[in-house]
């Protein structure tokens, strides 16, 4: 676990500015879905895990009592704290923490959120067990993350492509495996939704400034090997000149701690 944590920190410590300015992360359907799922009443103590530069924490803050926003990467939290100050958000505090070992007392939160991050976690069952531990009885866990389609072949394809591009990617599970793991951790799933991130330019997403041309070529070839039906149905691939646009499937879950 240590080594992937170091890879995550090495990756994200370089990207706090980029994330802070990324409209793809700041807004979008995935944020709206978990806000709608959580139905905050204004009294909740909230824990946002892997907050990055704080978009989810900031979206919840006006609707709840307090948010503790945690992340493994100190640089992301420094940027998030700067943004909270700029935006005069008074009820968010920050804490350095790994999702798999939360430094909080048991039964101390009403709501735990986690958005666009678990595919970086080495040990998802340990993360879910920690979420269960820190939630009060009947507390809510609302998460959304990128997922693989329900096909062994595409699970392998997608995780290979994601890891080639970014070595801090660990694993994108398909929705059925998320359901099984969340249920096994002691939750009842009350709602779920399939969503998508906004379409991205391949030439932007593949980070040519960081990944060598051979890796960019390998990833492009992998996309070219998808059948036209798979490319369209699962990844909304749309050619645009030398480039193409595509999106990842996302899965959102509202689960109650039993």
Residues that bind ligand SAM (CB under 6 A): 8, 12, 25, 50-52, 55-56, 71-73, 76, 98-100, 115-117, 120-121
User: Closer to ligand SAM at the Cβ: 117 or 128?
Assistant: 117
Query: Minimal distance in Å, beta carbon 35 to ligand SAM?
Result: 11
- Give the bridge partners for 59, in sequence order: none
Q: Which residue is nearest to ligand SAM (CB)?
A: 52
Measured from the CB atom, the residue of 8 and 226 that comes closer to ligand SAM is 8
**CB 213 to ligand SAM: min, Å:** 25
CB of 5: closest distance to ligand SAM in angstroms? 6
Q: Are 112 and 255 in contact (CB under 8 A)?
A: no
Smallest separation, CB 97 to ligand SAM (Å): 6
Q: Which is nearer to ligand SAM, 18 or 151 (CB)?
A: 18
Short-list 39, 64, 24, 31, CA closest to 191: 39
Contact criterion met (CB below 8 Å) for 110 and 136: yes
Q: Enumerate the H helices of 166-248 as residue ranges.
A: 175-184, 202-205, 213-224, 228-235
**In terms of Cα–Cα distance, which of 11, 52, 5, 4 is closest to 30?**
52
Which C-beta is closer to ligand SAM: that of 109 or that of 121?
121
C-alpha pair distances (Å), 32 with each of 14, 29, 48, 50 = 27, 5, 15, 18
> Whose CA is closest to 63, among 49, 44, 85, 47?
44
Residue 144's DSSP bridge partners are 115, 252
Whichever of 49 and 231 has its CB closer to ligand SAM, that residue is 49
Shortest Å, Cβ 72 to ligand SAM: 4
């Amino acid at each position: 676990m240590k080594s992937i944590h170091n890879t995550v920190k090495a990756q994200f410590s370089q990207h706090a500015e980029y994330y802070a300015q990324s409209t793809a992360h700041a807004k979008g359907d995935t944020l709206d879905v978990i806000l709608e799922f959580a139905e905050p009443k204004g009294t909740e103590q909230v824990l946002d895990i892997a907050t990055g530069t704080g978009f989810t924490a900031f979206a919840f803050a006006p609707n709840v009592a307090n948010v503790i926003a945690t992340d493994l990467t100190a640089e992301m939290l420094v940027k998030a704290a700067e943004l909270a100050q700029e935006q005069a958000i008074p009820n968010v505090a920050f804490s350095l923490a790994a999702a798999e070992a939360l430094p909080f007392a048991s039964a101390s939160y009403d709501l735990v959120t986690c958005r666009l991050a678990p595919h970086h976690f080495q040990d998802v069952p340990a993360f879910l067990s920690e979420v269960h531990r820190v939630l009060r009885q009947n507390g809510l866990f609302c998460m959304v993350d990128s997922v693989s389609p329900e096909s062994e072949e595409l699970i392998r394809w997608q995780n290979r492509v994601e890891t080639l591009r970014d070595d801090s990617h660990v694993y994108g599970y398909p929705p059925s495996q998320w359901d099984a793991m969340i249920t096994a951790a002691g939750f009842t799933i009350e709602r779920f939704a399939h969503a998508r991130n906004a379409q991205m330019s391949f030439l932007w997403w593949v980070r040519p400034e960081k990944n060598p041309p051979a890796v960019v070529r390998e990833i492009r070839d992998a996309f070219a090997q998808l059948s036209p039906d798979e490319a369209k149905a699962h990844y909304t691939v749309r050619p645009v000149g030398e480039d193409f646009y595509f999106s990842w499937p996302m899965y959102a879950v509202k689960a109650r701690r039993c």
